[in-house]
Structure 1
Amino acid sequence: MPRIRTVVLVAGVALLTRRAMRRRIDASPLWPLPALAEPVSGQPRSRALRLRVARHESVADGVVQLRLTGERLPAWQPGAHLDLVLPSGLVRQYSLCGDPEDSSSYTVATRLIPAEQGGRGGSREVHEELREGVEVEVRGPRNRFPLADAPSYVFVAGGIGITPILPMLRAVEAAGADWRLLYGGRSRASMPFLEEVEKLGGPAGERVTVVAQDEDGLPDPAAFLADSAPGTAVHVCGPEPLMDAVAAALPADCTLHLERFAPRAVTDGDTAFEVELRRSGRTVAVPADSTVLAAVRAELPDTAYSCAQGFCGTCQQRVLEGEIDHRDELLTDAERDGSMLICVSRARGERIVLDM
């Protein structure tokens, strides 16, 4: 069986086995992939910087690139991301896609997600308000999607998912490593950094396969992965169905490295359970189709929360008893041993006890 290593966008390293889903890529609202979103500002987990937008430019249909400048900026490696605190207080997380050797600027790119496609205003604020000269608060960088040490590489990117992979391509090309890329999107015009990616692939294009859905249909990860050599590290960033398709087709003796842009929230297979609030002397029921946060706030309305998506950490609570199904994108393994984010995580059994 292939070894699957899933790298999620949180602080620390988590290993888990992914279950291949049966959703089609073209049914996903995340194609092309939006930037990972955190609706409002939560508890800072790294020092904040004030950077200036030095450049705001379009790099594809619906995609803008920001160059943020400062002095002696913290170093980063391919796969890292930043938290941008927008003028409204919303927080959005974007992968760094510039040059790690440049200590005077960070570069990120974001796709505009309209409200009818699930956008909640953050990407529009980036597109319309973060113009040149504007100052923005930045936290990070943090990296939960590092480039693996491997004899050869396969990269699979969907839509805006090319952003964390682009610095990886530059790094492996500079190192003379063996690599290939499968890059898919709605259309060539919607695919950011396409020209640079194709140049990196060489004049014959033997290392880069571009699949524009309006011209070529959907990408075929299974065919692309079929002849991967043992030991190949497969890095994937894209909509969930694309990542699932890669996981299902992963050849033996290859490792899989995924960056998830959304937590697992309430699903059809979830069941109801009880939560005892030990200090309050109350017990609340959590229905199968709701969250611990909602149930707790019905009893304790002042319970702090912020993003409600498992990214910011505001709703973290101490767990006194019970096993937790952790679905957040923030806590380290050590933090998960004894606490949970009640906005997304659930009980594995019929009852848990919180220190509330």
Structure 2
Amino acid sequence: MDRFLRGLARFTDGYLKVLPLLGKAVPDRPNAPLVLEVARRTRVAPDVVALRLVGDGPLPAWQPGCHLDLHLPSGLRRQYSLCGDPADRDGYRIAVRRVGAGSAEVHDLPTGTRITVRGPRNAFPFVAGGPVLFVAGGIGITAILPMVQASRRDGLDWRLVYVGRARAMPFLDELPDDRVEVRTGRSADLLRDAHPEGAVYCCGPPSMLDAVRRDFASARLHFERFSPPPVVDGRPFSLELRRSGVVLPVPADRSALDVLKDLRPDVPYSCRQGFCGTCEVGGVRVCVQRPTGDRLVLEDL
């Protein structure tokens, strides 16, 4: 079956390449590169800017939980959740908090800038059903906001706990007052309104996710991380770069990506959570993957 699927993928890619030569239209490929223009920049919080990105025509459809991979002019690649209206096919909205080099570059992009993106892709799908408790920490509201809007539209039983460092939090003006609890500073008892038979969707910093996972150990918990989970119960192994002949020792408490970055600081990566694929080399995702044996081999490096 695996061989069949690989052959089918090769056939499909070849078929799509031949279509333009035959005068045929190529169907939408959500993961193919798109070149979009920064049409509008809006400051939605003191350290958060929202961008509207538009193309030359209708954009690929997306659902709550989807994100874009931005290929920035500097060569950096970063992921940002789509936080606009899925029904708006004329443009995408993302919102970015300034926290590092990539986000600072996004903040400084002037209107009119054309930028390459990949997506939309969904690693945090929302299955509409109630009752639902949403928990958002800071900029994590970007992934949660479209889910909230979909729940409002569909008449679901839902609540949102929105936690931030200060009251100036992004998109408060787009949230209804009657089902949203806004908290500032450190917050406990995030799951007070969680229904025992309901679902919880959470996006925020690691401390928030750890607290929610500890207090709501259920298959109905869905979450998205800002940063990679720590390496737990890891064991050392060797990372072999087959093309260059280099072998690197990877300690038990580090990832292959961490060690590879020491040697090659320009190696591309983005989310470090295992789902984006930016750092994939020869089918191996060096941000999180560990070998079953003593050696992980990257054929293309």
Same fold (TM over 0.5): yes
Give the Cα separation in 1 of the matches to 2:115 and 2:260.
Answer: 34
Structure 1 counterpart SS, 2:107: helix
The answer to whether 1:148 aligns with 2:133 is: no
Contact 1:56/1:132 (<8 A) preserved: yes
Q: 1:279 to 1:76 in 2, by over 3 A?
A: closer
Give 1:243 shift: 1.1
Residue 110 (structure 1) shift: 0.4
Is the Cα contact below 8 Å between 2:76 and 2:268 reproduced in 1? Answer: no
CA contact 1:80–1:146 (8 Å) conserved in 2: yes
Tell me, yes or no, if structure 1 residue 288 matches structure 2 residue 232. no
For 1:86 and 1:275, locate their aligned partners in 2 and report how far apart those are by CA, in whole Å. Answer: 29
Contact 2:134 / 2:200 at 8 angstroms: preserved in 1?
yes
Equivalent of residue 240 in structure 1, options 180, 191, 206: 206
Aligned to 1:100: 86
The offset of 1:49, in angstroms, is: 1.3
TM-superposed deviation, 1:79: 0.8
State the AA in 2 paired with 1:164: A
Tell me the CA shift for residue 343 of structure 1: 4.6
Partner letter of residue 171 of structure 1? A
Asked if 1:342 is matched to 2:286, the reply is: yes
Picking from 237, 260, 264, the partner of 2:225 is: 260
Measured in 1, the distance between the counterparts of 2:236 and 2:206 equals: 26
Match among 183, 204, 208 for residue 180 of structure 2: 208
Show CA shifts across 1:180-233 (max 9, x none). 0000000111x1001221x2x4xxx2x2111011xxx424224343xx141x12
2:268 to 285, 292, 306: 306
The residue matched to 2:145 in structure 1 has which SS?
A: helix
Distance 1:177 1:51 in 2: 34
| Corresponding position of 1:39 | none
Q: Which residue of 2 aligns with 1:316?
A: 281
Q: Residues 72-151 of structure 1 correspond to what in structure 2 (within 5 A)? A: 72-113=58-99, 119=100, 121-128=101-108, 130-151=109-130
Q: Tell me by how many angstroms 1:57 deviates.
A: 1.0
CA contact (8 A) 1:184 1:219 kept: no
Q: Which moved more, 1:307-316 or 1:73-82?
A: 307-316
Report the alpha carbon displacement of residue 290 of structure 1 after superposing the two structures with TM.
4.6
Q: With structure 2 as the length reference, what TM-score do the two structures score?
A: 0.77
In the TM superposition, residue 276 of structure 1 has moved relative to its aligned partner by 6.8
Cα-Cα RMSD: 3.1
Of all paired residues, the percent bearing the same amino acid is 46
- Offset of residue 87 of structure 1: 1.6
For 1:262 and 1:242, how far apart are their aligned partners in 2? 12
Which runs of structure 2 are paired with 1:138-177 in the superposition (5 Å)? 138-177=117-156
Gaps of 5+ in 2: 1-28
Instruction: Determine if contact 1:305/1:315 at 8 Å carries over to the other structure.
Output: no
Aligned residue pairs: how many?
Answer: 267
**In 2, Cα distance between equivalents of 1:315 and 1:152:** 37
Aligned to 2:295: 352
Q: For residue 353 of structure 1, report the CA deviation from its aligned partner.
A: 5.5
In structure 2, the partner of 1:195 is: 173
Distance 1:220 1:146, change over 3 A: same
* Residue of structure 1 equivalent to 2:6: none
**1:221–1:246 contact (8 Å) kept in structure 2:** yes
Which residue in 1 is equivalent to 2:234?
Answer: 270
Q: What is the aligned counterpart of 1:220 among 182, 189, 195?
A: 189
